[in-house]
């Protein structure tokens, strides 16, 4: 199927070239949009400008500490970056997980998102994790759990409120954030739990992948027909149950050409049926990659997490 083939192509590194082109076209389009926007004097345009100015005025200055090793073994060393307000206050923590079809990507792709989120009053921890095909599932999930343990162990140093921890990812990163919430690592007695997830462009299940397709074999070890138990373990929706004490914020491009929006909607509907707090934002006239570049959504993520943590 076309979607599955496209994901396979992304894993073979076609995406970086496309991403550069998207960035260029987005920057050009953004400049044009700004010029046009300045010419608008409608009440709606004025209200949007006023809201943006208020958000900017209330942001906190942010400092970054990068390249911190959080997990090592004989053949890998994983690092993270910490973004936090420059003051001495204690803030909720957010684990930031990059996308890239579980096969490529970097915490640096989240630079703008991380700074923007931290400026709202969060300690943001952006991580690298092991990548397929060298490291297959569940290596990536294990690394996010290691990052959570690092947050817990270093909470005093970075002044992180471990009672309020969120996870935020896009695409493959959103998938891992959802798994982190629905598959807690109880075997290692973690007491830092994710209680709020923001998931953009999330593959929340794999029902839409043909059971004979090898599109995800580089990561899950074979087609769904041959490895059904692995696909179920890797499916956030299959692991969602009443015991998961977590709120969920989804945003998804209406025209997503990589991950069907129906996948995230199925998770959201199941979560609502279990009386979870769920917000779903559909981004019109955008595809998978342009939705990632829409950093305004970070402000909505921040508002949702703050409201969740206040309860």
Nearest Cα to Cα of residue 203 among 215, 190, 212, 195? 215
pLDDT tens track, the chain, 311 positions: 444 444 444 444 334 333 333 333 333 333 333 333 344 555 655 554 555 555 565 799 999 999 999 999 999 999 999 999 999 999 999 999 999 999 999 999 999 999 999 999 999 999 999 999 999 999 999 999 999 999 999 999 999 999 999 999 999 999 999 999 999 775 555 557 899 999 999 999 999 999 999 999 999 999 999 999 999 999 999 999 988 789 999 999 999 999 999 999 999 999 999 999 999 999 999 999 999 999 999 999 999 999 999 98
CA-based end-to-end distance of the chain:
43
Query: How many CB atoms sit inside 10 A of residue 270's CB?
Result: 18
Instruction: List, in order, residues 6 or more apart from 205 with CB less than 8 Å away.
Output: 235, 236, 237, 238, 263, 266, 267
Judged on CB neighbours under 10 Å (0-12, 13-18, 19+), 113 is: buried
Which CATH superfamily, name and number, covers 2-310? Alpha/Beta hydrolase fold, catalytic domain (3.40.50.1820)
Return the beta strands (E) in the chain as ranges.
62-73, 76-85, 91-97, 123-127, 160-170, 194-200, 247-253, 278-283
Strand partners, 76: 73
Round to whole Å and give the CA distance between 290 and 275: 31
Round to whole Å and give the CA distance between 250 and 6: 22
The secondary element (H helix, E strand) that includes residue 285 is: none
CA-atom Rg of the chain in angstroms: 19
The secondary element (H helix, E strand) that includes residue 215 is: none
Nearest Cα to Cα of residue 274 among 235, 237, 232, 311? 237
Round to whole Å and give the CA distance between 291 and 89: 32
Left, alpha or beta for 77 (phi > 0: left; psi -120 to 50: alpha)?
beta
**Does residue 206 contact residue 193 with C-beta atoms inside 8 Å?**
no
So where are the chain's domains? 2-310
How big, in percent rounded to 5, are the helix, strand and coil portions of the chain? 45, 20, 35
Round to whole Å and give the CA distance between 233 and 176: 12
- Give the model's pLDDT for residue 15: 41
Q: How many CA atoms lie within 13 A of 209 on its CB side?
A: 29
Distances (CA, A) of 248 to 94, 165, 174, 198: 14, 13, 11, 6
Round to whole Å and give the CA distance between 244 and 271: 10
Please tell me whether residue 219 adopts helix, strand or coil conformation.
helix
């Amino acid at each position: 199927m076309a979607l599955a083939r496209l994901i396979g192509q992304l894993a073979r590194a076609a995406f970086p070239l496309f991403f550069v082109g998207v960035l260029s076209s987005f920057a050009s389009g953004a400049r044009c949009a700004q010029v046009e926007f300045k010419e608008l004097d409608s009440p709606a345009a004025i209200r949007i400008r006023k809201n943006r100015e208020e958000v900017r005025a209330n942001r906190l200055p942010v400092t970054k500490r990068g390249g911190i090793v959080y997990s090592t073994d004989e053949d890998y060393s994983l690092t993270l970056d910490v973004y936090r307000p420059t003051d001495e206050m204690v803030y909720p923590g957010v684990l930031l997980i990059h996308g890239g079809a579980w096969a490529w990507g970097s915490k640096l792709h989240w630079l703008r998102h991380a700074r923007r989120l931290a400026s709202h009053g969060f300690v943001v921890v952006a991580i690298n994790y092991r990548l397929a095909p060298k490291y297959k599932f569940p290596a990536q999930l294990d690394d996010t759990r290691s990052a959570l343990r690092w947050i817990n162990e270093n909470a005093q140093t970075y002044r992180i409120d471990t009672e309020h921890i969120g996870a935020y990812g896009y695409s493959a990163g959103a998938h891992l954030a959802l798994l982190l919430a629905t598959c807690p690592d109880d075997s290692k007695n973690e007491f830092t739990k994710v209680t709020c997830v923001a998931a953009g462009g999330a593959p929340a299940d794999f029902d839409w992948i043909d059971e004979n397709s090898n599109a995800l074999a580089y990561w899950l070890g074979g087609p769904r027909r041959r490895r059904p138990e692995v696909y179920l373990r890797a499916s956030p929706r299959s692991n969602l149950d009443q015991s998961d004490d977590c709120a969920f914020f989804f945003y998804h491009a209406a025209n997503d050409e990589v991950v069907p929006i129906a996948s995230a909607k199925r998770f959201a509907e199941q979560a609502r049926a279990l009386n979870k707090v769920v917000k779903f934002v559909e981004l019109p006239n955008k595809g998978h990659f342009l939705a990632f570049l829409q950093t305004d959504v970070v402000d909505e993520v921040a508002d949702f997490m703050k409201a969740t943590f206040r309860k």
